[in-house]
């Protein structure tokens, strides 16, 4: 079908950057915007808090697992048809969640929604690399990083307002509208960006493609180092409400301001990476990002060990850590997807899976070690980013 390979309007050589931003943000937006609606959802459907929280937990699982699916498919069949499939699934599933009559349908639709939404997350990044050299891709991915920092910072506030002033289903309806609008824009203007005949003519193979990437020291150096630096923050997020409210005795409404500051750190890191990408190599940029993360994590650990923990000594060093994470993300991703030009989609998907999987592991460790305390969080952050620097150094030496 022509619509699967050719946009209806115009014959573009490159994908519109704003559309790639919307595609990349859709999956993450689906996780964050409904969080304020969860208590009202539980009351309306007469289900427990733990049951409604499954709509977040299983969404994360789908977001991680789905990334392994889309990469090889898009390398073989092209970015555009696979994106249309994924965004179509996201839109339909979002509409089902908006009118779900019970928990089973809601949670089942949320899983499908996450699997559809992660198509944009994986292939939006891959499409950036398709149309640029590694150094230019790092600059554009840095801009994507800034957007991805803004989405989780603003989405809960947006969801809270429309839940309070419209209805608890409004957040779910909003996702359906965003999905439909992005799908329509993809149909109209998104060109096929994967024009490499070697990947398009190769047989579809999930295991073999991922095995080649996992044997690549270049890919592992960037992907593992990047994951250790960027998603260890999930461990802090899991414990932060208890740290701020129970240990530091801050009111709930004040905590949201702290999160905005931390997400601003990610945006600042992305902006720094965008400038550095024109001046340094990907490996040097990632080293600088890791060193920034080490500085922040060390400050947080020092505040805990010396008994000087306060709002300032928590927010300031973690914000520095987040600057490092914002810097690391575009350099690590650009390096990962450049390891094999014939498997850009697969590399993007595997990189995302490693990221999400490590983030979930950090959350589990923090919650099972000593819930609500600082030492496990500080340890996770510091050990992760130091290990990331060592992994990068080892991979660079042996590559």
Across residues 245-251, what is the average pLDDT?
Answer: 81
How far, in Å, CA of 192 to CA of 185, rounded? Answer: 14
Residue recorded with tokens 């400050």:
299
Work out the average pLDDT over 232-238.
79
Lowest mean pLDDT among 107-116, 154-163, 198-207: 198-207
- In this predicted model, what pLDDT tens digit does every residue of 323-377 receive, in sequence order? 999 888 888 888 887 777 777 777 878 888 888 888 878 877 877 787 778 898 9
Average pLDDT of the residues in 281-297: 92
Q: Which residues are within 8 A (CB) of 103 and not within 5 positions of it... i.e. 6 or more apart?
A: 45, 47, 51, 52
Contact 117, 151 (CB under 8 A): no
Per-residue pLDDT at 252 exceeds 80 = no
Residue 205: pLDDT above 80?
no
Q: What is the spatial distance between Cα 63 and Cα 268, in angstroms, rounded to a whole number?
A: 26
* Cα Dmax for the chain: 65
Domain 210-398 fold is Growth Hormone; Chain: A; (1.20.1250)
Cα–Cα distance, 129 to 348 (Å, whole number)? 10
**Both ends of the chain: CA-CA distance in Å?**
43
Could you give the CA distance from residue 119 to residue 73 in angstroms, rounded to a whole number? 10
Q: Where are the domains of the chain?
A: 12-196, 210-398
Confidence label for 71 from pLDDT (cuts 50, 70 and 90): confident
User: 67 pLDDT exceeds 70?
Assistant: yes
Distance from C-alpha of 161 to C-alpha of 171, rounded to nearest angstrom: 10
Q: Indicate the pLDDT class of residue 125, thresholds 50, 70 and 90.
A: confident
Domain 12-196 has CATH 3.20.20.140: no
Does residue 126 or residue 116 have the better pLDDT?
A: 116
Identify whether the C-beta of residue 189 lies closer than 8 Å to the C-beta of residue 19.
yes
Q: What is the pLDDT of residue 157?
A: 72
Q: Does this chain's domain 12-196 share its CATH topology with 210-398? A: yes
Q: Kindly state the average pLDDT of the residues 94-108.
A: 93
| pTM confidence score | 0.73
């Amino acid at each position: 079908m022509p619509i699967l390979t050719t946009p209806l309007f115009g014959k573009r050589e490159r994908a519109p950057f704003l559309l790639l931003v919307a595609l990349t943000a859709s999956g993450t937006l689906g996780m964050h915007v409904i969080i304020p609606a969860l208590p009202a959802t539980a009351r309306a459907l007469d289900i427990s808090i733990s049951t409604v929280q499954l709509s977040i937990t299983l969404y994360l699982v789908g977001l991680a697992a789905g990334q392994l699916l889309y990469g090889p498919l898009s390398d073989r069949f092209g970015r555009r048809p696979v994106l249309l499939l994924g965004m179509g699934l996201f839109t339909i599933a979002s509409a089902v969640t908006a009118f779900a009559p019970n928990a089973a349908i809601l949670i089942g639709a949320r899983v499908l929604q996450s699997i559809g939404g992660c198509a944009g997350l994986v292939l939006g990044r891959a499409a950036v690399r398709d149309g640029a050299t590694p150094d230019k891709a790092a600059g554009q991915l840095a801009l994507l990083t800034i957007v991805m920092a803004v989405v989780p910072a603003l989405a809960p506030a947006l969801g809270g307002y429309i839940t309070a002033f419209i209805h608890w289903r409004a957040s779910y309806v909003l996702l359906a509208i965003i999905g439909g609008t992005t799908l329509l824009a993809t149909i109209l203007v998104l060109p096929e960006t994967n024009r490499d005949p070697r990947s398009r003519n190769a047989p579809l193979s999930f295991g073999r493609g991922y095995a080649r990437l996992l044997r690549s020291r270049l890919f592992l150096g960037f992907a593992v180092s990047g994951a250790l630096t960027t998603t260890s923050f999930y461990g802090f997020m899991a414990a932060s409400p208890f740290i701020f409210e129970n240990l530091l005795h801050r009111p709930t409404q004040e905590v949201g301001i702290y999160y905005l500051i931390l997400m601003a750190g990610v945006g600042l890191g992305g902006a720094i990476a965008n400038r550095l990408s024109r001046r340094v190599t990907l490996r040097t940029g990632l080293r600088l990002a890791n060193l920034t993360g080490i500085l922040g994590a060390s400050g947080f650990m020092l505040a805990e060990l010396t008994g000087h923990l306060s709002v300032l000594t928590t927010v300031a060093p973690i914000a520095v850590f987040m600057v490092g994470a914002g810097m690391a993300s575009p350099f690590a991703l650009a390096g990962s997807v450049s390891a094999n030009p014939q498997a850009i989609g697969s590399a993007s998907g595997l990189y995302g899976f490693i990221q999400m999987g490590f983030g979930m592991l950090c959350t589990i460790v923090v919650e099972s070690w000593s819930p609500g305390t600082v030492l496990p969080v500080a340890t996770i952050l510091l050990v992760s980013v130091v290990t990331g620097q060592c992994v990068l150094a080892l991979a660079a030496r042996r590559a």
